[in-house]
Amino acid sequence: MKNLLVYYSKTNKTKYLSNIFFEILKKENDFSEFQILEKNNGLRYGISGLFFDLYNIITKKSIELKKNPDFENTEKIIFFSPIWAGNLALPIKHLINKYNEVLSNKKIFIITTSQREYKKIDINLENYEFYNFKRLNNNIKDIKAKEFNNINYIIEKIKK
Ligand SMILES: Cc1cc2nc3c(=O)[nH]c(=O)nc-3n(C[C@H](O)[C@H](O)[C@H](O)COP(=O)(O)O)c2cc1C
């Protein structure tokens, strides 16, 4: 059985965090990493991008992804997502809703990054472990150094 890290990131913090986890996990386990990209990814950048994000959140607009990950034959799935408006970023939320049935019998970890601290969020899933990293620097070395203990703690949980 293979394991999958799935990340969405707009300004790279969540991407760096996922990359750090992947670097460690791939050494011992059968892990691969998958980046979620939207068909119209470019629309989310710049000032107009922020309005686009907010518009999508408010109108609950549906999301179209460039490619969907393959969850079949996957044992553990680790989702990495920024927090948007107190919940998962829309592309990850969309994916979890779409594949809800397939995901319901997998081991799921949800790892989020945000400005404020979140202990839980409202997700359409029965069982998962939730973790949050707040105020990450936009630099992979800094994240590794400052979050060393948190990262290792979660890695041990994933490896179990
Ligand atoms: C549209 C949007 C909504 C956001 N909403 C929240 C929020 O509700 N709470 C919070 O703490 N941070 C919020 N943030 C900040 C991001 O969660 C945070 O900066 C995150 O680490 C960014 O990850 P990224 O660099 O991978 O995109 C929001 C950011 C964006 C773009």
Ligand 1 pocket mutation, candidates 48, 56, 115, 121, criterion most atoms within 8 A of CB: 115
Q: Which of 42, 34, 40, 44 is nearest to 7 (CA)?
A: 34
Q: Encode 29-52 in three state secondary structure.
A: CCEEEEECCECCHHHHCHHHHHHH
Ligand 1 pocket mutation, candidates 17, 37, 83, criterion most atoms within 8 A of CB: 83
Each residue of 71-128: pLDDT tens digit? Answer: 988 999 999 999 999 999 999 999 999 999 999 989 999 999 999 999 999 998 999 9
Topology (CATH level 3) of domain 2-159: Rossmann fold (3.40.50)
Q: Map tokens 């791939």 to a residue.
A: 26
Q: What is the mean pLDDT of residues 117-140?
A: 96
Distance 81 CA to ligand 1 centre (A): 9
What does DSSP say about strands 87-88 and 74-84: parallel, antiparallel, or unpaired? antiparallel
The DSSP line for 92-134 is: HHHHHHHTHHHHTTSEEEEEEEESS--S----S-SS-EEEEEE
Annotated domain spans of the chain: 2-159
Does residue 61 surpass a pLDDT of 80? no
Q: Please tell me which residue, 51 or 68, carries the higher pLDDT value.
A: 68
Ligand 1, atom 30: nearest CA belongs to which residue? Answer: 84
Ligand 1 pocket mutation, candidates 54, 59, 84, criterion most atoms within 8 A of CB: 84
Query: Is pTM beyond 0.85 here?
Result: yes
Q: What residues does ligand 1 touch, defined as CB less than 6 Å away?
A: 9-15, 53, 82-86, 113-116, 136
To 10 degrees, what angle do helices 148-159 and 13-28 make? 50
Ligand 1, atom 29: nearest CA belongs to which residue? Answer: 84
In angstroms, rounded to a whole number, what is the distance separating the alpha carbons of residues 113 and 137?
A: 11
